[in-house]
Amino acid sequence: MDISAVNALSYEDFVNTFGNVVEKCPVITAAVWSKRPFVSLNALEAAISDFIDELPKSGKEGILRCHPDLAGRDLQRGTLTRESRREQAGAGMDALTSGEAERMARLNEEYKKRFGFPFVICARMNDKANILLQLSERCQNERAVERARGIEEVKKICRLRLQSLLLTDGANKL
Ligand SMILES: NC(=O)N[C@H]1NC(=O)NC1=O
């Protein structure tokens, strides 16, 4: 799908296609539809990024709270979104040893208790060892630092999801 095809989409098709580029936040996609026409993939990405940046702290934290834990309950129950399932599997989150799984669960809980939102990291840009290391290190940060850091990671996840849709299988859907 090229950018002119994206610009020609009705809001229904636009939200159906891009509604999960920010995990479980289709309202962001629905909002940026009105910013068409986009000159490029980068422009669409920038519109999403600007929308997120303009949100108050509570909105940014709300976006983080829409993300499933890594190797958490949704993965175990098979209730992850398709995108998240692929990302988590790619980083080996579905194949942790029992020791790694226990450590991940303990650190995820510690992180959520400290900040009130989950640890978010772009799984496609990290491996298992690095995710565990980052999780333990980032537990030590201040809330404002982690809010900003988590949002940076959301934007990386968004970019890779947009690229997957525009450069590969998205083209076959329209
Ligand atoms: N919690 C968290 O980081 N979740 C995710 N990261 C990612 O790349 N996909 C996710 O679902």
- Angle of the 143-167 helix axis to the 11-18 helix axis, nearest 10: 110
Q: Which atom of ligand 1 is nearest to the CA of 69?
A: 1
| Known catalytic residue at 67 | yes
Q: Which atom of ligand 1 is nearest to the CA of 72?
A: 1
Q: What are phi and psi of 79, to 5 degrees?
A: -110, 15
Q: Binning pLDDT at 50, 70 and 90, where does residue 167 land? A: confident
Q: Which residue among 21, 61, 83, 88 has the greatest number of ligand 1 atoms within 8 angstroms of its CB, and so is best to mutate?
A: 88
How many angstroms separate the first and last alpha carbons of the chain? Answer: 8
- Residue 37 per-residue DSSP state: P
- Domain 3-61+165-173, CATH: 1.10.3330.10
Residue ranges, comma separated, of all CATH 1.10.3330.10 domains in the chain are 3-61+165-173, 68-146
Separation CA 34–CA 57 (nearest Å) = 23
Most distant CA pair in the chain, distance: 50
* pLDDT above 70 as % of the chain: 96
* Mean pLDDT for the chain overall: 95
Whether the Cβ atoms of residue 90 and residue 126 lie closer than 8 Å to each other: no
- pLDDT tens sequence across 97-123: 999 999 999 999 999 999 999 999 999
Q: Give the pLDDT confidence score for residue 1 in this predicted structure.
A: 87
Closest protein CA for atom 11 of ligand 1 = 84
Separation CA 76–CA 78 (nearest Å) = 6
- Interface confidence (ipTM) of the complex: 0.99
- Domain 68-146, CATH: 1.10.3330.10
